[in-house]
Structure 1
């Protein structure tokens, strides 16, 4: 790991810390919005593309034009997977607690490991297998505890399932785009992926009849906040940090998101997680740590 080999004056570790704080606000912003889940996801992605597209067109025009057809197809597949991730995770927050939803959706490294073994013929170590087993035990505890305790969530088991679907589709997004990222620069890649993601979300929202306009200014500010905070300062900075830090450091640091989101939900939403949720979440995070470190 190095903190000195980077462009500019911002330390990668500092940038990573800012990014974790930024992504921790995502669940709170989603919960504050009263728009349909697909609409929230659509505008988050649209505003992110709107912010990044000028940079891509001015500074990365040649890189955009030189993306091969094969890489465009792969990036498009990643965009569809990302749309499924946003749709399922945003909807999960309507049914379960922030603590459960964010912890379960953060389990995507486990499914990346399984997918890499199943589809890319990558070896799975004993440590990875142990981590996956520990995390799955924590997921079961979290899901079953919601049936036995008063978590305050309307449909916790359904919401937890959607969060796990969000983790699986996030893993599909990572696996689909992993080879492309070695050939295409960050900004052109995410612009293509987010554009396809927005189109996928738009088509499903229109098919469902979700209204795309008529929202008060507060909602538009929340949509923009989702793009600037978790989108630009969160995931985009995390991708930047990956070029300067070991991937294991970044992966383990992402375990701070469920903790940050849970603390924010406590103070901003008055949402107190149950003891089984805390214990199950700690086990899940422990399993992710074993797998990613």
Structure 2
């Protein structure tokens, strides 16, 4: 494992796939769940003094941009765990498969580039899969699908905005600023949490939830982030992105195995997932082939 970057990469993807499962196991509502997640990660990073020294030469503008993008990822998690709670882990994970679709469509707008026909094609090819997914979930889970789709859109936005920052800032200090800004936002809004339902009010996690939260923050956030930095030094960006796009597969397989969610979903759902993933992975392979031509 120590010397095999591919095993390290797929361990990262597996751990990220577990986040939806843990979101279902944790009894806290989405808002307090995300708050405790970003708080635990923030405390771990802020307490590591060498990270502060590495921020010394970072321009103030980049620090503000990092903090702003931290708010984007925090809201992404709110929508994602909202989807887990309203629907289930499989539906939320499937929506994440739409993130590359949004990224392909929105990145030209953010980077002020002309639209690429291949990028537009991925959106068209994913539409039948989306329709099948919607048709394969119970009516009561449609709100969860909508929340998950918004989460995917914000994940694509975060990825686009983070590209430039990651080139100019050290990785762990960047994450520290982003997690700290999310923690501060949610802490300031604690009086407003009950507006989203009584279950969203602030409360301390019980012993069971605390254990799952520590696993979510440390094993499924800090550990894969540290590993992915190592992996990126040894594998191409294409290999990494292709594996990351498989995260929904891991999550759905784990949900079926551990949560028995297959009883809640119909066969069109799984066919739709397959079509979405085929569009995403086919688009990635096509992009690489064209780049090598």
Q: TM-score range, shorter-chain basis?
A: 0.7 to 0.9
Aligned length: 278
Cα distance between partner residues in 2 of 1:30 and 1:238: 22
Shift in alpha-carbon separation, 1:95–1:14, aligned structure 2, 3 A: same
Cα distance between partner residues in 1 of 2:221 and 2:46: 14
Is 1:86 the counterpart of 2:77? The answer is yes
Instruction: Please list the CA deviations of residues 38-79 of structure 1 after superposition, one character each: whole Å capped at 9, or x if unmatched.
Output: 111111111122223344x22x33321222111012101211
Is 1:11 the counterpart of 2:4? The answer is yes
**Which of residues 191, 206, 217 is equivalent to 2:207?**
217
Structure-1 residue corresponding to 2:288: none
Q: 1:123 Cα deviation (Å)?
A: 4.2
- 1:131–1:289 contact (8 Å) kept in structure 2: no
- Structure 1: which 5+ runs fail to align? 1-7
Cα distance between partner residues in 1 of 2:190 and 2:239: 37
Q: 1:280 Cα deviation (Å)?
A: 0.4
Is 1:261 the counterpart of 2:251? The answer is yes
Cα distance between partner residues in 1 of 2:99 and 2:233: 20
Alignment of 1:246-257 (within 5 A): 246-257=236-247
Instruction: Please list the CA deviations of residues 93-124 of structure 1 after superposition, one character each: whole Å capped at 9, or x if unmatched.
Output: 11223222101123212222222111212344
- 2:101–2:280 contact (8 Å) kept in structure 1: yes
Cα distance between partner residues in 2 of 1:39 and 1:226: 13
Shift in alpha-carbon separation, 1:103–1:118, aligned structure 2, 3 A: same
Structure-2 residue corresponding to 1:184: 169
Is 1:118 the counterpart of 2:109? The answer is yes
- Structure 2: which 5+ runs fail to align? 195-199, 286-293
Instruction: Please list the CA deviations of residues 25-49 of structure 1 after superposition, one character each: whole Å capped at 9, or x if unmatched.
Output: 1111100111111111111111122
- 2:83–2:91 contact (8 Å) kept in structure 1: no
- 1:23–1:235 contact (8 Å) kept in structure 2: no
- 1:45–1:227 contact (8 Å) kept in structure 2: yes
Shift in alpha-carbon separation, 1:279–1:271, aligned structure 2, 3 A: same
Cα distance between partner residues in 2 of 1:90 and 1:175: 22
- 1:103–1:285 contact (8 Å) kept in structure 2: no
Cα distance between partner residues in 2 of 1:240 and 1:123: 33
Aligned CA-pair RMSD:
2.0
Is 1:70 the counterpart of 2:61? The answer is yes
Q: Secondary structure at the match of 1:171?
A: helix
Deviates more, 1:226-235 or 1:181-190: 226-235
- 2:135–2:269 contact (8 Å) kept in structure 1: no
Structure-2 residue corresponding to 1:5: none
Shift in alpha-carbon separation, 1:102–1:205, aligned structure 2, 3 A: farther
Q: Secondary structure at the match of 1:182?
A: helix
Structure-2 residue corresponding to 1:289: 281
**TM-score normalised by length of structure 2:** 0.87
Shift in alpha-carbon separation, 1:225–1:170, aligned structure 2, 3 A: same
**Which of residues 97, 101, 105 is equivalent to 2:92?**
101
